[in-house]
Amino acid sequence: MTRPALSYTIWFSQRTGSTLLNYALASTGVAGNPSEWLHFQHKDPAAFTRGDLENIWRHGTTPNGVFGLKIGFEQRWIDTFRAMFELPPEASRAEVWSTAFPHCSKHIYMTRRNKVRLAVSWWRAIVTGEWHRKFGEKPQAQDIADKYNEEAIKHLLIQSMMCEAAIEDFLSESGIVPLTIVYEDFIQDYEGTVMNVLQYLGIPSDGVTVAPPALDRLADEVAEAWVQRFREESQRGWTHIRW
């Protein structure tokens, strides 16, 4: 298996548009296929082999040698790769990661400004089982209005913040300045964002076509009602209402 000539990683927490970006970049044919390759490995990381890693390279690399993947930060994979390649304890986490994914000098960090809407979107996906909706598909006919759960949304809010903290700690520790993509900006400038990624990766974009968005937004009236309810209930009794 030929090693990738360039690898890049998309770091994300849930509901930040990472799958939409994955499809968009893959559609160009020149930016790898940055899917959740490690997530698809339905095995204990301790049982993960170099053969599994090479299989991931194969599926995530386009003919020009560019490989991409996306992942929410998980320390267990760093530990797995450190052991696999017998790297010393003093090797930084970024060095370990770049050993597993050759020439991984480019990192993209996806975030979302409004964490309440992120958490509500995440809870809606859990309740409905609808994580993505292909463009043009009809919404699922489900009555979920009574599925609001303040504690669940609060838990997901904290979980998203901790995931981002872990990513930011990894990047800062390694002196990595990533390309940051904000969800709210991405959906306003879909094609421009994709072209900006290609430029960041150093991939010529002349003649490159970006496919239209593959996914529809899932936000609806129920989700918005949950956002407003959470906003009000979380600040009940506050002297200074922030939002």
pLDDT tens for residues 89-113? 999 999 999 999 999 999 999 999 9
**pTM for the predicted model, two decimal places:** 0.95
| Main-chain dihedrals φ then ψ at residue 80, nearest 5 degrees | -60, -45
* Mean pLDDT in residue range 118-143: 92
What confidence category does residue 1 fall into, taking pLDDT thresholds of 50, 70 and 90? low
Q: What is the pLDDT of residue 140?
A: 79
Q: How many CB atoms lie within 10 A of CB 63?
A: 7
Six token digits for residue 96: 């370990």
Locus of tokens 């010393």:
88
Q: What is the pLDDT of residue 42?
A: 63
pLDDT tens for residues 39-56? 987 667 888 999 999 999
In angstroms, the CA 16 to CA 113 distance is 9
DSSP codes, 184-216: HHHTTSHHHHHHHHHHHHT---TT--PPPPSB-
Say what percent of the chain tops pLDDT 90.
91
* Mean pLDDT in residue range 64-69: 97
Average pLDDT, the chain: 95
Contacts of 123 (CB under 8 A, 6+ apart): 149, 152, 153, 156, 226
Q: What is the pLDDT of residue 45?
A: 80
pLDDT tens for residues 180-215? 999 999 999 999 999 999 999 999 999 999 999 999
Give me the domains of the chain, ranges plus CATH numbers.
6-234 (3.40.50.300)
Checking if the pLDDT of 136 tops 90, the result is no
What confidence category does residue 239 fall into, taking pLDDT thresholds of 50, 70 and 90? very high
Closest CA to 15 of 219, 243, 220: 219
Q: What is the pLDDT of residue 141?
A: 77
Residue, of 136 and 21, whose pLDDT is higher? 21
Checking if the pLDDT of 172 tops 70, the result is yes
Q: What is the pLDDT of residue 46?
A: 82
Closest CA to 66 of 37, 106, 119, 38: 106
| Main-chain dihedrals φ then ψ at residue 11, nearest 5 degrees | -100, 135
**Helical H runs in the chain?**
18-28, 50-60, 75-84, 93-100, 115-128, 150-173, 183-186, 190-201, 221-234
Q: How far is CA 165 from CA 15, 148, 168, in A?
A: 16, 27, 5
